[in-house]
């Protein structure tokens, strides 16, 4: 009996060694052919918005996240005494504050009733951030963006899956199901269920996540999150029940902005083990502890819902690559976003005859 247990133990130990993972911390693992897929995704996305809007003579919206719930102003303030390993880029100087805009949005390609299950986007743009930026043709821009959504796991782990998914969705349900089942995409289906089908009560009381990894200085890799908190006590705020009207998220945002200031904590979690917190697979949630680095305050304000106000919101271009090198986006999904976001933003601005310029002040 004892011998059996010993053998079993030996087997377990041997297998866990065989399974030893060779991935290194802070290291990306690009696939040789991935830029081919990336170019194809960008072309498909542009083709889609061309067919959806331009050819019908309509104002061109984003391919994903086309419904803005609003673009309030915010202030992003670095906390005092953050651990020295995180003092890079915008976090270099204690107590430094930046003016910012946040664009809250739906996730799916169409503008829907707010009760329809969807993912929700959080796009933060800090202003007055000096230093060379990563987009080759926007190196002098003074903005730093953080683009996330309301779930910690993205639902596609690779660029080639995104490409197939994109094609399948447009081709119709049956092909999509065949691909998911045939390819045994069970992890993705489960993540998609969580990522795409959420209903929220208020965009200001929802937590958002980067889902994908970023540099924080040359030696640390993190994912970030923004958590709604009470401005005075710092205690996390829970979301309220959904509303009924078509645009209740905008209506409630407007009410909240009129009533009192609201806050989020900006948190990061580190990659500590490159196998448990993989760089190239945003379907895997990281479970390392979150550390607070900054406070986002959304001051009392009037949400501008005039035609001009709405146009301002559509006119903004967010990209994880509007970034200092110290916050470089990492992993295959982020590498794809560099090309895709730029291509679609350029196309829609050109078609809408709007200049594509980063905002400087508010």
Ligand X SMILES: *[C@@H]1O[C@H](CO)[C@@H](O)[C@H](O)[C@H]1NC(C)=O
Interface ranges with ligand X (CB under 6 A): 46-47, 50, 54-55, 92-93, 96, 308, 311-312, 315, 354-355, 357, 359
7/357 with CB nearer ligand X: 357
Given 162, 214, 224, 321, the residue binding ligand HEM (CB under 6 A): 162
Rounded to the nearest angstrom, the gap between the alpha carbon of residue 313 and the centroid of all alpha carbons in its chain is 17
Instruction: Give the footprint of ligand HEM on residues 263-282 (CB under 6 A).
Output: 282
The 3-state secondary structure of 213-252, one letter per residue: CEECCCCCEEEEEEEEECCCCCCECCCCCCCCCCCHHHHH
Binding of residue 337 to ligand HEM (CB under 6 A): yes
Please say whether the beta carbons of 344 and 42 come within 8 A. yes
**Hey, is 246 helix, strand or coil?**
coil
Q: One symbol per residue from 200 to 229: x for binding ligand HEM (CB under 6 A), - otherwise; what is it?
A: -----------xx-----------------
246/351 with CB nearer ligand X: 351
Q: Which does 92 bind (CB under 5 to 8 A by kind): ligand HEM, ligand X, none?
A: ligand X
Binding of residue 109 to ligand HEM (CB under 6 A): no
* Bridge partners (DSSP) listed for residue 126: 100, 144
46/249 with CB nearer ligand X: 46
* Bridge partners (DSSP) listed for residue 103: 123
Q: One symbol per residue from 40 to 79: x for binding ligand HEM (CB under 6 A), - otherwise; what is it?
A: -x---x----------------xxxx--------------
Torsion of CA 86, 362, 236, 221, to 10 degrees: -20
Please say whether the beta carbons of 34 and 332 come within 8 A. yes
212/352 with CB nearer ligand X: 352
Structure tokens at 49: 């918005």
Q: If you ran DSSP here, which 8-state letter would residue 2 be given?
A: H
Phi, psi angles (nearest 5°) of residue 321:
-90, -5
Please say whether the beta carbons of 100 and 125 come within 8 A. yes
123/220 with CB nearer ligand HEM: 123
User: Measured from the CB of residue 311, what is the shortest distance to ligand X in angstroms?
Assistant: 4
Q: How far apart are CA 362 and CA 153, in angstroms?
A: 33
Q: Which does 357 bind (CB under 5 to 8 A by kind): ligand X, ligand HEM, none?
A: ligand X
CA neighbor of 146 nearest in space, from 86, 80, 100: 100
Q: Which does 191 bind (CB under 5 to 8 A by kind): ligand X, ligand HEM, none?
A: none
* Bridge partners (DSSP) listed for residue 290: 269
Instruction: Give the footprint of ligand HEM on residues 120-139 (CB under 6 A).
Output: 121, 123
CA neighbor of 65 nearest in space, from 104, 38, 117, 113: 104
* For the chain, the helix, strand and coil percentages under 3-state DSSP, each to the nearest 5: 35, 20, 45
User: Measured from the CB of residue 100, what is the shortest distance to ligand X in angstroms?
Assistant: 15
Q: Which does 296 bind (CB under 5 to 8 A by kind): ligand HEM, ligand X, none?
A: none
* Bridge partners (DSSP) listed for residue 228: 264
Structure tokens at 317: 């271009």
Binding of residue 149 to ligand HEM (CB under 6 A): yes
96/112 with CB nearer ligand X: 96
Q: Which residues contact ligand HEM (rule: CB under 6 A)?
A: 41, 45, 62-65, 103, 105, 121, 123, 147-149, 154, 159, 162, 211-212, 282, 317-318, 333, 336-337, 340-341, 344-345, 348
């Amino acid at each position: 009996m004892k011998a059996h247990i010993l053998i079993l133990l030996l087997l377990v130990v041997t297998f866990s060694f065989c399974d030893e993972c060779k991935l290194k911390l802070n290291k990306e693992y690009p696939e040789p052919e991935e830029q081919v897929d990336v170019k194809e995704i960008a072309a498909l996305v542009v083709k889609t918005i061309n067919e959806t809007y331009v050819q019908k003579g309509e104002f061109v919206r984003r391919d994903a996240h086309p419904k803005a719930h609003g673009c309030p102003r915010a202030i992003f303030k670095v906390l005092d005494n953050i651990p020295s390993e995180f003092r890079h880029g915008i976090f270099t100087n204690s107590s430094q504050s930046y003016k910012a805009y946040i664009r809250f949005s739906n996730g799916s390609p169409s503008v829907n009733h707010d009760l329809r299950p969807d993912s929700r986007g959080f796009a933060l743009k800090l202003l007055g951030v000096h230093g060379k930026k990563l987009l080759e043709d926007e190196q002098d821009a003074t903005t730093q963006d953080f683009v996330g959504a309301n779930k910690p796991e993205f639902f596609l782990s690779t660029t080639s899956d995104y490409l197939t998914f994109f094609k399948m969705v447009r081709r119709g349900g049956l092909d999509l199901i065949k691909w998911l089942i045939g390819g045994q995409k069970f992890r993705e289906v489960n993540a998609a269920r969580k990522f795409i089908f959420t209903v929220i009560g208020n965009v200001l009381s929802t937590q958002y996540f980067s889902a994908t990894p970023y540099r924080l200085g040359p030696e640390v890799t993190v994912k970030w999150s923004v958590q709604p908190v009470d401005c005075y006590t710092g205690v996390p705020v829970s979301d309220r029940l959904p509303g009924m009207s078509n645009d209740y998220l905008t209506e409630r945002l407007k009410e909240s902005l009129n009533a009192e200031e609201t806050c989020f904590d900006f948190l990061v979690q580190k990659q500590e083990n490159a196998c448990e917190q993989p760089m190239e697979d945003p379907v895997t949630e990281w479970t390392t502890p979150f550390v607070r680095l900054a406070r986002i305050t959304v001051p009392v304000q009037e949400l501008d819902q005039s035609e001009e106000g709405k146009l301002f919101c559509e006119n903004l271009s967010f990209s994880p690559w509007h970034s200092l090198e110290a916050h470089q986006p990492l992993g295959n999904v982020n590498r794809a976003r560099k090309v895709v976001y730029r291509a679609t933003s350029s196309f829609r601005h050109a078609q809408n005859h709007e200049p594509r310029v980063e905002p400087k002040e508010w």
